[in-house]
Amino acid sequence: MSAHAAQQTVSQIQKDQKVLKEHRKNGRKTGRLKWQGAGEFRSVAYQSEGFNVNHTTGHDFGTLTLSKIGEIPIRAHRDLPNTENIKRAILKKERTGAWFACFVVEVESPAKPDSEDIDSADCIGVDLGVLSYIHTSEDLSVECLHLESEYDQYVREQRALDRTEHGSENWENQRQNVARAKRQIRWKVLDFQHKLSTWLVKAYDVVAVEDLDVKSMLETSQSAKNKQDAAWSRFLDMLEYKGELHGTHVVRVDARGTTKECNQCGVETSKPLWVREHSCPACGHTEDRDLNAAKNILDRGLNKLSLQVGPGRSESTPVQTVLPAFAHHSGRMDAKHVVEAGSPAA
């Protein structure tokens, strides 16, 4: 083993011990670190040295040289950074048997626009919906991904695994088929979330989104599986770190009352989940339930940032980056449009 990789492993153990110690100080019950069995530890890290990246083989292909391992041909999904710009290199093996090289690179974040430079057309509120994945304050809704065929394939592979003898060669081959079927679901959701979050932070200067307590929703909801597939917590995290990368204000607001509160007069009206239209008994305002919530989220986000935005339209429409078919009108959009849009992942 390379000394660089061993040092990183020891450093990680010390870091984990420190975290457990802090938890104990805070009164939390913690166990002890457990050693992983043979074959369970599937990653090795190199910090600042012990590796080198060769770019001579072209844009999509290169060579990663690791200490005590040698040269490894790699295929990159984006431009390879120079070795001196890479802070950390991680070699990882997935349960499917595939290997990945992950590079950690520091980048300079652009400055976020000042309040006087923000146009009202460059601000958007995002409601995480039930019938749709998101519904924006501009009345654009993106439908949820349909993963029925992927889950059917995963179930078939899992049943085939149950019929094989545990530990045999056929069992190992089928286990990898199960892992690939599960990876297909995860990658499809990730691809969808990356493209959708990238579009939002590139198209707008301010993105306000409701801060949901997803854990409690999964524990009490009858549709917990659908909400788990939506992976809202990860989507919110993507918005925040991509907002830093692209200089966009991403603000989470309290989600309580956004559906009940009328965006015109502020009167709260309770309504069951199956009622999809907001109708205010006080002022008579009527519009889609999710649209009304998205507008309330935007107002709360602007108040939280203390921004005063001016009227007008932005020169670039948000859909020019990912959703050209909806550039000039609002409406519903199938998730397939996002998946096939081809936007970069970050």
Catalytic residue ranges: 127, 210, 290
CA distance 233 to 230: 9
The neighbour count for residue 335, using CB atoms within 10 Å, is 19
Question: Two tokens at 230?
Answer: 């939506």
Helix extents (H) in 115-231: 148-162, 169-203, 214-220, 224-230
Alpha-carbon distance values, 171 to 15, 167, 179 (Å): 37, 6, 12
Shortest CA distance to 120 belongs to which of 211, 209, 208, 199? Answer: 208
Q: How many CA atoms lie within 13 A of 75 on its CB side?
A: 2
CB of 298 within 8 A of CB of 282? no
What kind and span of H or E run contains 242? helix 232-246
**Long-range CB pairs of 72-81, under 8 A, 24+ apart, other chains included:** 72/101, 74/101, 77/345, 78/344, 80/53, 80/55, 81/53, 81/105
CA distance 30 to 25: 10
The label of the residue with tokens 């844009």 reads: 59
Task: Please tell me the distance from the alpha carbon of residue 189 to that of residue 293, in angstroms, as a whole number.
Answer: 25
State both tokens at 252.
């989470």
Question: What gap in Å lies between CA 185 and CA 192, rounded to an integer?
Answer: 11
Q: For residue 258, list its beta bridge partners.
A: none
**Facing residues of 333 across strands?**
142
**Checking DSSP bridges between strand 123-128 and strand 206-211, what pairing results, if any?**
parallel
Instruction: Return the number of other C-beta atoms located less than 10 Å from residue 222's C-beta.
Output: 6
Q: Which amino acid is at 145?
A: L
